[in-house]
Structure 1
């Protein structure tokens, strides 16, 4: 009996592979537990179509992320914050403030989790933030912090 694995099976193979197994093992265990489907022509065609759609979606997502990264490289956001007597900011510039300013000033929406810098911005001046957008695509965002 031929089966199409839906999930990884430790001693048999990875999801998406077609394997030849004994009838009892295939019907009772693999199909019965939801690890596989009977490998009919219809099931294999549907699986191939699903894989092609996933590949197309991934390609579109990567193109969108690259376009966003190119936009981010070209823009600069300006954030104004109160300054103390010593020249340092009251508090720090948070990721939420950066994301909000980016959306208000350039209409680009980015999740705050994509900002990977560990250190907070606590001084006036120009700063470059690294953004990890996903799928291995990175971008730099230029932030200009001005005192009030």
Structure 2
């Protein structure tokens, strides 16, 4: 019997996938627990429409991420912070501060968790950094730390 999963089922598959299972398994386990629905013509059409919409939204998100990566790639982001005469900073430059600078530069909100910095930045200088925008899309940029 063909079924469409309403939820993730560990032994079968993920939500909205179409699978072939035995009649007894479907009638006695999946349907009573509301984990699946029979795959009739209307349900198959609805599942196909959902998958097409999901693919379209993913393509849009990927395109937006590539466009943003093109804006960021090769840019020099300057962070002005307080520091001592020896070249050491009072504190360190964090991903949150860099994300705020990138947001101001691009006009698009960037999550601090997606900013990848080299080890803790505690001295003035220039550093290579990157930001993960989408699966497989990474935008490298230069981070310049200057005295305030």
Same fold (TM over 0.5): yes
Shift of 1:17: 2.4
Are 1:14 and 2:13 an aligned pair?
Answer: yes
**Aligned CA distance change for structure 1 residues 128 and 18 (closer, same or farther; 3 Å):** same
Moved more, 45-54 or 138-147: 138-147
Aligned to 2:89: 89
Is the contact made by 1:5 and 1:19 (CA closer than 8 Å) also made in structure 2? Answer: no
Alignment coverage as a number of residue pairs: 145
Is the 8 Å Cα contact of residues 3 and 21 (structure 1) preserved in structure 2? no
Structure 2 CA distance for partners of 1:106 and 1:134, relative to 1, 3 Å: closer
1:54 and 2:47 equivalent?
no
Please tell me whether residue 70 in structure 1 is matched to residue 70 in structure 2.
yes
* Superposition TM-score, scaled by structure 1 size: 0.86
TM-score (norm 2): 0.86
Return the alpha-carbon distance in structure 2 between the equivalents of residues 107 and 20 of structure 1. Answer: 50
Q: 1:41 to 1:106 in 2, by over 3 A?
A: closer
In structure 2, stretches of 5+ residues that fail to align are none
